[in-house]
Chains A and B, each alone.
Chain A
Amino acid sequence: DARVTQTPRHKVTEMGQEVTMRCQPILGHNTVFWYRQTMMQGLELLAYFRNRAPLDDSGMPKDRFSAEMPDATLATLKIQPSEPRDSAVYFCASGLVRSSGAPGEQFFGPGTRLTVL
């Protein structure tokens, strides 16, 4: 059955290293979201794409984070350089935006648990 996939599931790295997280959205979905989840802050929206175009990345620290969709089957979130405060679970979600009315369901991937030492 169709689901969002994310790789890697776990990543441990040292401060200063580059981290790349990948997401394959569900085929046919036109929106992709990147979230970060921590106990303190909960689920925070980092970036939002519609039809592969970035619509909102105001939640993302621009100096070190970047999000791209090189094609419809791949979304990436990159952190360079990584810092210990970036340790969190990063979720990708995809969905279908309706032209009007309630937002559609977001289907979440299993997440990437990132630990920066």
Chain B
Amino acid sequence: TQLLEQSPQFLSIQEGENLTVYCNSSSVFSSLQWYRQEPGEGPVLLVTVVTGGEVKKLKRLTFQFGDARKDSSLHITAAQPGDTGLYLCAGAGRDDKIIFGKGTRLHILP
């Protein structure tokens, strides 16, 4: 069974600080996506990474796909209260099935 482990499960930090959250697996994925979900809403796609070692930037968010395509990280610089939410990683595995991690619940304190 392919699994995605996300860490930490919960993170609460002050506005302006930097943070990194992780998405790890023992399996190889053909691609990996990061979603953000706000309370009462469905997840919204932030980025898709496809190539091992790939780095993508979205304003203050930096996403990296591991060289072996088994893990990924999301780094946020100078966190803002608007970054608060549940961050989910999702891997495309066998048969193009999308598998989600359980998420990192991030809270940015003003």
Give me the interface of A with B, judged by CB distance under 8 Å.
4, 33, 35, 41-45, 48, 56, 91, 93, 97, 101-103, 105-106, 108-111
Contacts and interface: CB of A to CB of B under 8 A. Distances in A.
A112 to B, nearest CB: 11
B interface, size bucket: 20 to 34
A48 B98 CA distance: 10
Contacts of B40: 110-111
A2 to B, nearest CB: 14
Interface string B75-110: 000000000000010001001111111110000000
Interface in B7-51: 30-31, 33, 40-45, 48, 50
A97 B45 CA distance: 15
Contacts of A43: 43, 88, 100, 102-103
Contacts, number: 56
Contact of B50 (A35, A42, A97, A102): A102
Contact of A110 (B30, B31, B41, B88): B41
A103 B98 CA distance: 9
A56 B97 contact: yes
B42 A93 contact: yes
A112 B53 CA distance: 38
Interface of B: 30-31, 33, 40-45, 48, 50, 88, 92, 95-103
Contact of B92 (A41, A42, A45, A102): A102
Given A43-B102, A44-B100, A45-B98, 4 more contacts: A4-B42, A48-B97, A101-B50, A109-B42
Given A42-B101, A43-B100, A103-B31, A91 B42 contact: yes
A110 to B, nearest CB: 6
B34 to A, nearest CB: 11
Contact of A102 (B48, B99, B100, B102): B48
